[in-house]
Amino acid sequence: MFTIVKREEMAQGTVILNEIEAPLIARKAQPGQFVILKANEEGERIPLTMAETDAAKGTITIIYMVVGKSTAVFRDLQVGDAYQDVIGPLGKPTHVEKVGKVLCVGGGTGVAVLHPITRAFKEAGNDVTCIIGARSKDLLILEDKMKAASNDLRVCTDDGSYGHHGFVTDVVKAVLDKEKVDQAVAIGPVPMMKAVCAITKQYDVPTLVSLNPIMIDGTGMCGGCRVTVGDKTKFACVDGPEFDGHQVNFDELQTRLRAYMEEEKACYDSHCR
């Protein structure tokens, strides 16, 4: 069993942090890798990229938004409760090297995934500018951690309640107009990643994105996580989760993510009743 040792509610309770005892995973995991969690015997398998690992303590940290029944079941778990299954580390780690100037862009809970990657690029000797965004100030997460993990942090909110009033893409464009960037990383909602990649492509900046399609086994067996990258079918769980953002078919990914929306809503509504 994988016991929760710390639990925090963020962004007005819509985002939950769980630090979980998982010593074998904590020892092996690298930035960019993910785990698949199941709360109980009947539970759905949910893939989540690790926000933090602590090999000495033997723990991993996940940060997720409550969006449906399964994450609502996760939210009910308190410190001392346990997930029945946590498998990982899965997927390929982020390829981190010294390239010069790196631009890390995160939105929503994608910021949690971006945090260890940003830190790794900075530790590798890169000059890292980070841009994070949320709909409003109270939905912004991990600002202090992202500040420490980067050389320069810019913050945006859609409603202007904090930082730049507007989308992360406005600031991405402003940075690229002024500076030469050698590598970008964009992690967040699909429309955000698509929009960031459309801009970085104009400036010829290689851009990594981390994809989170529906997954079942997480080991390349079921095909549930298939995505199209450069007209080739890839499995996000074993070929990713990170891909060249300029090659990803984001429209197809978005359509596949919405395939079970009605069923998911009905399931969530009956859970909440």
The footprint of ligand FES (CB under 6 A) covers 215-218, 220-225, 235, 237
Give min distance, CB of 229 to ligand FES, in A.
14
DSSP 3-state of 273: coil
Nearer to ligand FES, 100 or 223 (CB): 223
Smallest distance, ligand FES to C-beta of residue 101, A: 33
Q: Which amino acid is at 234?
A: K
How is the chain split among helix, strand and coil, in percent rounded to 5? Answer: 35, 30, 35
Q: Which of 244, 241, 210 is nearest to 230 (CA)?
A: 244
If DSSP codes are grouped into helix, strand and coil, which group holds residue 226? Answer: strand
- Least separation in angstroms between residue 241's CB and ligand FES is 10
Comparing CB distances to ligand FES, the nearer of 47 and 107 is: 47
* Least gap, CB of 120 to ligand FES (angstroms): 24
By the 10 Å C-beta count (0-12 exposed, 13-18 middle, 19+ buried), 216 is classed as middle
Query: Which residue number, 113 or 215, has a Cβ lying nearer to ligand FES?
Result: 215
CB 25 → ligand FES: shortest distance, Å? 18
Rounded Cα–Cα distance for residues 117 and 185 (Å): 9
Least separation in angstroms between residue 102's CB and ligand FES is: 28
How far are the Cα atoms of 115, 194, 262 from residue 189, in angstroms, in the given order? 16, 9, 19
Q: In whole angstroms, what is the distance from residue 105 CA to residue 200 CA? A: 11
Cα distances (angstroms) measured from residue 217 to each of 89, 182, 214, 225, 227: 13, 35, 10, 9, 15
Closest CA to 157 of 177, 141, 175: 141
